[in-house]
Amino acid sequence: MLLTRDTLPETIPDTAALDELLCRPSQALIDDLRTVEGDIMILGVAGKMGPTLAGLAKSALPDRRVIGVARFSDPEVKNWLQARGVETINCDLLDEAAIKALPKSPNVIFMAGRKFGAEGDLSLTWAMNTHVPALIAQAFAGSRIVAFSTGCVYPFVPVDSKGSPEDMAPNPPGEYAQSCVGRERMFEYFSRKLSTPGRLFRLNYAIDMRYGVLHDIASKVYLGKPIDVSLGHVNFIWQGDAASQALRCLAHCDTPTSPINVSGHEILAVRDLAAKFGRHFDRAPVIVGKEEPTAWLTNTSLAVKLFGEPIVDTDQLVAWTADWVARSMPSLGKPTKYEVRDGRY
């Protein structure tokens, strides 16, 4: 079954149904990937979004070789991928010799990096977010490289703006976000030097039912916990839509590489989202703080021009999340920390 607005379910009953939905391709994804020849390799596949992206690629092109690379400290992730036809390779991306031994796929999605707990070992954060990209950019100079980045490379912008466009100069708070600028600069430098086509995939808040901005807000409303609205406005996007756009970027690479903002096209107030969940749960949200006039927001006009609007809209995501949280369904236990303003994750 193809993913369309007409085929979206009213609710998502369990994690098996969630995984199937996340890995369901659209016709547009299939069409774009058919224009890109060769295998697809996902580096750092074992994170929150990597399995979805790998599974989606395999669903879109079942006859194409899809390779997932990671340390696989959790063997269940490896088993999940292999069950869906994704080849797996164990590799520590801090090991230069191991990188050089990887097969040279013509299409690379780079997802490795370090975010949560970054303040605890900043040297490792910088190594993962700048040294590893430099190694990958050189080892895969002959490939297309779509490198995951973040909207956190931008400064805060007024909430009544349209968000940061791609040509806004990065100037973020905090060492984590600064290291993400470093990651982009490594890919940009070697793309220019080695004529490597690519995209810098500046993603703001992908979500599924088990984690994300909506899960954070919904859980707090449901449990009666306070919701800080100091950082009071957000963009976010269904993880399946984000994964689809990342794969489609392989058909829309630039030489040298260039950034593209990926998120929902709406700028949404945290207070309003909390109120929506309050209506679903029949309880008033506990709001603390006052909205600041600025937030981390991105302008996704370029992505909408290339890919169209995301298939799953905000109202559908709110309804799915409310139902999931109310049934006490599984959570990854990884808060997005969207409300943080000082860059300390």
pLDDT tens profile 284-323: 999 999 999 999 999 999 999 999 999 999 999 999 999 9
Are 318 and 277 a contacting pair, CB within 8 Å? yes
**What are the residues whose beta carbons fall under 8 Å from the beta carbon of 120, sequence distance 6 or more?**
none
**The pTM is what?**
0.95
Q: Which of 272, 264, 297, 292 is nearest to 217 (CA)?
A: 272
Domain boundaries, the chain: 9-206+238-263+300-305
Question: Rounded distance, CA 277 to CA 50, Å?
Answer: 28
State the pLDDT confidence band at 343, using cuts at 50, 70 and 90. low
State the pLDDT confidence band at 33, using cuts at 50, 70 and 90. very high
Whether 115 has a pLDDT exceeding 90, the answer reads no
**What are the residues whose beta carbons fall under 8 Å from the beta carbon of 59, sequence distance 6 or more?**
23, 24, 25, 84
**140 φ, ψ (degrees, to nearest 5):** -115, 40
**Average per-residue pLDDT in the chain?**
95
CATH 3.30.70.2170 fits 9-206+238-263+300-305, yes or no: no
* Cα angle 333-55-337, degrees, rounded to a multiple of 5: 25
* b (16+ CB within 10 A) / e for 183-205: bbebbbebbeeeebbbbbbbbbb
- Name the residue type at position 7: T
